[in-house]
Amino acid sequence: MSRVTVNVDGGARGNPGPAAIGVVLRGDGEVLEEVGETIGEATNNVAEYRALLRGIELAAAHGASELELIGDSELVVRQVEGRYKVKNAGMKELHEEVKQALGEFNSWSIRHVRRAENADADRLVNQALDGALDG
Looking at residue 66, its pLDDT comes to 97
Report which of residues 112 and 1 the model is more confident about. Answer: 112
Looking at residue 17, its pLDDT comes to 96
**What are the extents of the domains in the chain?**
3-128
Cα 41–chain centre separation: 16
Looking at residue 90, its pLDDT comes to 87
- Please determine, for residue 1, whether its predicted confidence score (pLDDT) is greater than 70: no
Q: Which residues contact 24 (CB under 8 A, 6 or more apart)?
A: 6, 7, 8, 31, 33, 34, 120, 121, 124
As a CATH number, domain 3-128 is: 3.30.420.10
Q: What is the pLDDT of residues 16-31, one digit of tens each?
A: 999 999 999 999 989 9
Looking at residue 108, its pLDDT comes to 98
Angle at 69 between CA 126 and CA 106, to 5 degrees: 150
Q: Give me the chain's average pLDDT, please.
A: 95
125 CB-side CA count, 13 A = 28
Rounded mean pLDDT, 109-122: 97
Rounded mean pLDDT, 78-86: 97
> Model pTM?
0.95
Looking at residue 135, its pLDDT comes to 54
- Please determine, for residue 46, whether its predicted confidence score (pLDDT) is greater than 60: yes
